[in-house]
């Protein structure tokens, strides 16, 4: 009998002891797992766009497990940057992802921010206000994939170059490639500033400083009215600014290939900045260096018309045409010559005639730029010296006046454009 009791009691005690030991272990294990889950939760809370941001940071070896600690770490050295995101290679706020939506005409529009982390210690640079469609005049190369908007960002006027959401993947690649190309040129006082690129999701957006007077060609046409004055001195000043930008581009081994009043933007204080980099970007990506643009023949050098490679001297020829546009307040060059006959016209030794509104000093520069022989043309450095020397003695009091009223259809015909387009200089 005693033996039977021992057989029953001993296993029961062993089972009870095992349970007493295992239950606390299970409780401790459960508590530890629960605490670790709570610590990991913030890593999974952020939106998909934030997770993409973390992947970018990991690629650049700046990623940490806690998003806010990362923001604190980089806040000081990024304080000088503009408040807009950009893909790698484009400087401003290099990986801040910022989706944005805009409408045709809408005031006080702000970008959409889905599940964005709180930033109690930072100002909200991302907000755009007063977004409105940017009026356009005509285009040599219409671009149906891009819309333009005027907006305010960080208390300054900006232009939003927005890729339509229906754009194909190749069009998106070209859009971002062009932005990267412009960014790679580096900053220059007489090239419009690229403030950033929004690439987190559609629509893709380039943000560029706005120059209030917009393109120089339209500004010249407006100067035919009494309310706008263009003087000889201002021509020297603005031409020297464009020449400085062109000289800088040439130092970067970049041939512009599209110099003309349509490719120059003018700020509120009459500063001229060179833009119109589309042909330069196409040459960089497609490799063509011959006369690829038949629409702007009247601005092209003879060697380009002859389908020979474009050179820095070709830009200087086009710069001479730019000065001609300025002194005539927007007249096209070689107005009485058909584009198809221009090369033969130049080969016969003909050249631009001196306009009545052009001083001898400015006409001398035009002729020095527009030598038929490319080797005889001025270099950009020589051009800058001549323009600055002429500026000091130029007439800054008498406004240039053109008696003939401006007629848009006549301009299109004489400039060699087959038809009018909706033209966006950005």
pLDDT 10s digits, 362-393: 999 999 999 999 999 999 999 999 999 999 99
- Within 165-231, residue ranges assigned H as helices are 169-184, 216-222
- Looking at 46-93, list the stretches that DSSP marks H as alpha helix, in order from N- to C-terminal side: 48-59, 67-75
Q: What does the alpha-carbon distance between residue 183 and residue 218 come to, in Å, rounded to a whole number? A: 26
What value does the mean pLDDT of the chain take? 76
**pLDDT for res 23:** 75
Q: Does the pLDDT value for residue 2 go beyond 90?
A: no
Local confidence band at 289 (pLDDT 50, 70, 90 cut-offs): low
Per-position b or e across 179-205, b if 16+ CB within 10 A of its CB: bbbbbebeebebbbbbbbbbbbbbbbb
Per-residue pLDDT at 312: 97
Q: Is the whole model's pTM more than 0.75, yes or no? A: no
Give the per-residue pLDDT at 47: 35
| Residue-wise pLDDT tens digits, 216-274 | 999 999 999 888 889 999 999 999 999 999 999 999 999 999 999 999 999 999 999 99
Going by their DSSP bridges, the two strands 272-274 and 264-266 should be labelled as antiparallel
pLDDT > 60? residue 111: no
The answer to whether the CB of 246 falls within 8 A of the CB of 319 is yes
Domains of the chain: 47-80 (no CATH), 82-112+125-209 (3.30.200.20), 214-415 (1.10.510.10)
* Confidence at 138, pLDDT banded by 50, 70, 90: low
- Check pLDDT > 90 for residue 129: no
Share of residues in the chain with pLDDT > 90 (%)? 51
**What phi and psi, each to the nearest 5 degrees, are found at residue 157?**
-80, 135
pLDDT for 212-229, tens place per residue? 999 999 999 999 988 888
**Averaged pLDDT for residues 147-176:** 89
Which tokens is 367 given? 């002729």
pLDDT category at 136 given cuts 50, 70, 90 is: low
Percentage of the chain surpassing pLDDT 70?
A: 66
Residue 59's pLDDT band, with cuts at 50, 70 and 90, is very low
Q: Contact 190/241 with Cβ under 8 angstroms?
A: yes
Instruction: State the pLDDT confidence band at 115, using cuts at 50, 70 and 90.
Output: very low
Q: Which pLDDT value is given to residue 245?
A: 98
Enumerate residues 6+ apart whose C-beta is below 8 A from 122.
71, 75
The residue among 273, 110, 84, 66 whose CA lies nearest residue 187 is 273
pLDDT score at 170: 93
Mean pLDDT on 342-354: 96
Q: Which of 31-40, 197-206, 348-357 has the lowest mean pLDDT?
A: 31-40
């Amino acid at each position: 009998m005693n033996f039977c009791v021992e057989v029953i009691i001993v296993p029961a005690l062993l089972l009870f002891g095992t349970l007493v030991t295992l239950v606390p272990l299970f409780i401790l294990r459960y508590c530890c797992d629960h605490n670790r889950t709570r610590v990991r939760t913030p890593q999974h809370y952020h939106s998909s766009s934030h997770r993409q941001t973390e992947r970018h940071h990991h690629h650049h070896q700046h990623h940490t497990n806690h998003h806010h600690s990362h923001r604190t770490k980089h806040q000081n050295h990024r304080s000088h940057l503009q408040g807009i995101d950009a893909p790698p290679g484009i400087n401003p706020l290099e990986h801040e992802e910022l989706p944005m939506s805009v409408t045709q005409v809408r005031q006080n529009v702000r970008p959409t921010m889905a599940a964005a982390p709180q930033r109690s210690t930072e100002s909200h640079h991302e907000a755009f206000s007063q977004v409105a469609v940017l009026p356009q005049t005509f285009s040599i190369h219409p671009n149906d994939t891009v819309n333009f908007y005027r907006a305010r960002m960080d208390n300054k006027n900006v232009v939003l170059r927005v890729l339509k959401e229906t754009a194909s993947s190749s069009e998106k690649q070209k859009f971002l490639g062009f932005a990267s190309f412009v960014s790679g040129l580096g900053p220059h006082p007489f090239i419009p500033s690229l403030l950033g690129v929004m690439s987190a999701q559609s629509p893709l957006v380039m943000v560029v400083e706005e120059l209030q007077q917009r393109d120089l060609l339209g500004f010249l046409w407006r100067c035919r009215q009494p309310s706008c004055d263009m003087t000889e001195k201002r021509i020297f000043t603005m031409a020297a600014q464009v020449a400085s930008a062109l000289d800088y581009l040439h130092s970067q081994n970049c041939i512009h290939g599209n110099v003309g009043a349509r490719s120059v933007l003018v700020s509120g204080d009459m500063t001229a900045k060179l833009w119109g980099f589309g042909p330069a970007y196409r040459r960089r990506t497609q490799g063509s260096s011959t006369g690829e643009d038949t629409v702007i023949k009247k601005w092209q050098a003879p060697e380009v018309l002859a389908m020979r490679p474009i050179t820095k001297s070709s830009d200087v020829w086009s710069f001479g045409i730019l000065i001609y546009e300025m002194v005539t307040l927007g007249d096209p060059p070689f107005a009485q010559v058909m584009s198809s006959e221009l090369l033969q016209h130049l080969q016969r030794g003909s050249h631009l005639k001196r306009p009545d509104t052009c001083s001898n000093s400015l006409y001398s520069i035009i002729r020095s730029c527009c030598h038929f022989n490319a080797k005889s043309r001025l270099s950009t450095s020589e051009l800058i010296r001549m323009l600055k020397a002429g500026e000091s003695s130029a007439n800054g009091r008498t406004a240039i006046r053109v008696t003939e009223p401006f007629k848009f259809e006549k301009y299109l015909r004489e400039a060699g454009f087959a038809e009018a387009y909706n033209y966006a200089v950005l």
